[in-house]
Amino acid sequence: MPKLSTDTLWELAAAEVHTRENGTREEDGGEPVSERTVFLMGSKAGGKTSILLRCLERDEPSKPTLALEYTFGRRARGHNTPKDIAHIWELGGGTSLSDLVQIPISTNNIRTLSVILILDLSKPNALWSTAERLLLEAQTQVQKAFSQVERVRKVQGGGKQQASVQPAARVLPKDYPDRELINPFPIPLLIIGSKYDLFQESDSEKRKVVSKTLRFLAHYYAASLIFTSIKSETLMSKTKTFFSHLAFGQERGKVVSCDTSKPLIIPAGSDSLSQIGSPPSSDVDITSLHARNPLDLWKKVYEHVFPPESTSARLELKDPAKDSQYIEPQIDAMRAQKDQELEQYKRDAAKSWKGLELES
């Protein structure tokens, strides 16, 4: 006769949570976890889905991402070994749906989560604003999730001071280049510059500005950086190596290429501020920009060369129902009817409240 468990439902749930939280990343010095989460975000129509399908070795046509989509990948560590699982979230719409980052970034997966930011190199004018907005949204949500985990830990510990299971942010090695001058992203971050095949056809000086700026951004956030194109098997193979490192804990690779005339391949910790140099500002006086910090300085120089796009178009797409790629005639007609009914209800309600005020 099987032995009956005397644990309460709460004790069983607490034990399950404890088991999940004991997972560690390779960079923490522990064994690779069996489940990890990867969150992809980036430029609208920047090739996120196509890159993901290639990294997962799925031979299927890519489709526009509808808001936020989930998939998963599995990979065996070796012969006759259990397969590791990667939970993968992809955010569509560029920056217009950035509020949705709170779904894939949660207390349930924060300890095994990595972020991939995919930026469209063929649209340099939107590059900085896209990176800035999405990284800020993701970083805010990550820090919020860590804070919630810490509060729960203190409650469970009865308010006693105990060592945190996970620090609130990544702790870089003491010999990490420029460790005291940068602002590491709180979880592992990979920046991918997509559509390199189109990018390499642009003006060489402008390519240099984009390349140096992304080198600075990647180093500032302690992130890895790679330029890729789905039309290049060689570049996609190297991209897949970076992806597999985050998703399955495999070796990241040691290839480094900092030559701005070639596709950049820079693993985190392989670059430095001295190698990157100062912002490319041949036709602007840096001292006249009144930058608050190095990040602000690079932003001002970059946007001097590539003025940001108008925000009006992006604001219009804040509501997915107004996005042309999601058109559904019957649903849209019904939505318009309901919107009219709602407006009429508001007007009627306002009249009723005014009537009540006059009577009183």
The token pair that represents 254 in the structure block? 């040691």
Are residues 271 and 333 both part of a single domain? no
Query: Which pLDDT value is given to residue 358?
Result: 54
Are residues 332 and 300 both part of a single domain? no
Question: How far apart (Å, rounded) are the C-alpha atoms in residues 279 and 183?
Answer: 18
10: in domain: no
162: in domain: yes
Query: Which pLDDT value is given to residue 346?
Result: 74
Q: What is the CATH number of the domain that holds 293?
A: 3.40.50.300
The token pair that represents 190 in the structure block? 């990979």
State pTM to two decimals: 0.77
Question: Pick the residue with more confidence: 1 or 234?
Answer: 234
Number of folded domains that form the chain: 2
pLDDT at 12 over 80: no
8: in domain: no
Please state the rounded mean pLDDT for residues 324-339.
79
- pLDDT bracket for residue 2 (50, 70, 90): very low
Query: Which pLDDT value is given to residue 189?
Result: 97
pLDDT at 199 over 70: yes
Encode pLDDT of 104-159 as tens digits: 999 999 989 999 999 999 999 999 999 999 999 999 999 999 988 888 877 876 55
205: in domain: yes
Query: Which pLDDT value is given to residue 254?
Result: 85
Are residues 267 and 144 both part of a single domain? yes
Query: Which pLDDT value is given to residue 3?
Result: 39
- pLDDT bracket for residue 16 (50, 70, 90): low
Are residues 340 and 279 both part of a single domain? no
Encode burial over 31-56: b for 16+ CB neighbours within 10 A, e otherwise. Answer: eebeebbbbbbbbbbbbbbbbbbbbb
Q: Which domain holds residue 288?
A: 21-305
Among 121-130, 166-175, 297-306, which is the least confidently predicted range?
166-175
Burial of 185 (0-12, 13-18, 19+ CB in 10 A): buried
Tokens 């870089």 belong to which residue? 172
DSSP at 326: G
Tokens 């189109």 belong to which residue? 198
Which helix (H) or strand (E) segment holds residue 69: the answer is: strand 68-76
Question: How far apart (Å, rounded) are the C-alpha atoms in residues 360 and 356?
Answer: 6
Are residues 298 and 154 both part of a single domain? yes
- pLDDT bracket for residue 342 (50, 70, 90): confident
Are residues 354 and 210 both part of a single domain? no
pLDDT at 30 over 60: no
Contacts 24+ apart (CB under 8 A), 77-82: 77/32, 82/34
Query: Which pLDDT value is given to residue 357?
Result: 55
Are residues 177 and 251 both part of a single domain? yes
Three-state secondary structure readout of 280-310: CCCCCCHHHCCCCCHHHHHHHHHHHHCCCCC
Are residues 179 and 212 both part of a single domain? yes
Are residues 113 and 206 both part of a single domain? yes
Query: Which pLDDT value is given to residue 349?
Result: 73
Are residues 84 and 189 both part of a single domain? yes
Are residues 122 and 231 both part of a single domain? yes
314: in domain: no
156: in domain: yes
3-state class of 26 per DSSP? helix
319: in domain: no
pLDDT at 56 over 50: yes
Question: How far apart (Å, rounded) are the C-alpha atoms in residues 200 and 213?
Answer: 16
Q: Are strands 83-91 and 35-42 parallel, antiparallel or unpaired?
A: parallel
Question: How far apart (Å, rounded) are the C-alpha atoms in residues 315 and 43?
Answer: 15
Question: How far apart (Å, rounded) are the C-alpha atoms in residues 329 and 325?
Answer: 12
Are residues 335 and 271 both part of a single domain? no
Question: How far apart (Å, rounded) are the C-alpha atoms in residues 119 and 96?
Answer: 15
Question: Pick the residue with more confidence: 348 or 61?
Answer: 61
Question: How far apart (Å, rounded) are the C-alpha atoms in residues 308 and 18?
Answer: 46
265: in domain: yes
Please state the rounded mean pLDDT for residues 37-44.
96
What percent of the chain is predicted at pLDDT more than 70?
77
Question: How far apart (Å, rounded) are the C-alpha atoms in residues 218 and 17?
Answer: 33
Among 195-209, 215-229, 339-353, which is the least confidently predicted range?
339-353
pLDDT at 289 over 90: no
